Structures are given as C-alpha cells and as structure tokens.
Amino acid sequence: MSETQSFRVTLESLEGYQFKIDFGDGFGTIQTDEPPPLGDGAGPNPARLVAAAVANCLAASLAFCIRKFKQDPGRISAEVVAEVARNERARLRIARLDVTLRLGTDAAAVQHLDRCLAQFEDFCIVTQSIRTGIPVGVSIVDAGGKPLAKPG
C-alpha cells in the first residue's frame, strides 16, 4: 500500500544571505545564513541543516527501536562531522557525513539492542533518502507570479 504525505516549508530573504525559514504548522521559524566571507554566520547554513537532519533522524530512529522493545535508551546524543569538498566541476558539495550516536545508558542494560543496531538505519527517512538521492524539481517565477524559463 502506497502512503504519501507532504509538508510545506517557506523561506524569505532578510539581508545578504540570511533567510527566515518558516516550518509551518506551528513549528516556528529559524534564521539561516552562510558563513563568512559570503555571509555573516548569523545562523546555520543549509549544509549544517542537512547534517543536523541526518543525525537527528538516526538518533530518533534508534530511540524508537529501543523503546519499541520497552527498553530505555537514556538520553541519546549525536555528533555529526560533515566533510565539504569540491567535486569534479569544482563545486562545493557535502562529500561525507560521519555520525556518532551515543546511548545514555550502558549497552548491556538494553535488551534486543543487537536487533535495533541491525535495523534502525533502514527506518531513518532522512538518511536513507540522502543515501539514495532525492529528485528535486526547480521552478522560478517573477514577483508577479510569471514562470521563468531556465536556459538549456
């Protein structure tokens, strides 16, 4: 059975490379910015949001699996190290993400932990989507809503 859900996030430029991102549905807003020298570093940049999303999703997925077995993972923490490198066209890309998850309790105290470790990544929406690639459609309209054609 196919299940499709959608959500909307809106962005508005503030100044320079700063944007206000509204997550809708009462989730609030955050401000992003590019680090110097391009921006002022007044907030996380999109690459940091991707890294945070991967680590958060993995931590939540691991917690869910452990709790499914009525066990307590303690306060799970995560650290993600992102490597940014230039690709063959000299464009900066997130080349690698290394995530370290830390249980808030001793592993020996968690029953069925081996089963969770074997499967929790498969249930992480963000990590698995990024690993396999996400199609991204792009359209551009002017201030009046007129669609702009991309060259090509």
Minimal CA–CA distance to 66: which of 30, 97, 22, 111?
111
- pLDDT in the model for residue 26: 94
Q: What is the pTM of this model?
A: 0.89
Co-location of 61 and 111 in the same domain: yes
38 in the same domain as 49: no
Q: What is the rounded distance in angstroms from the CA atom of residue 23 to the CA atom of residue 25?
A: 7
- Domain tally, the chain: 2
Return per-residue pLDDT of the chain as tens, 152 residues: 678 999 999 999 999 999 999 999 999 999 999 999 999 999 999 999 999 999 999 999 999 999 999 999 999 999 999 999 999 999 999 999 999 999 999 999 999 999 999 999 999 999 999 998 877 788 888 888 888 887 76
- The predicted structure's pLDDT at residue 10: 97
Only one residue has tokens 């958060």, namely 56
Q: Are residues 50 and 93 in the same domain?
A: yes
Q: Would you state the pLDDT for residue 1?
A: 60
Task: Please give the residue range of the domain that contains residue 40.
Answer: 7-44
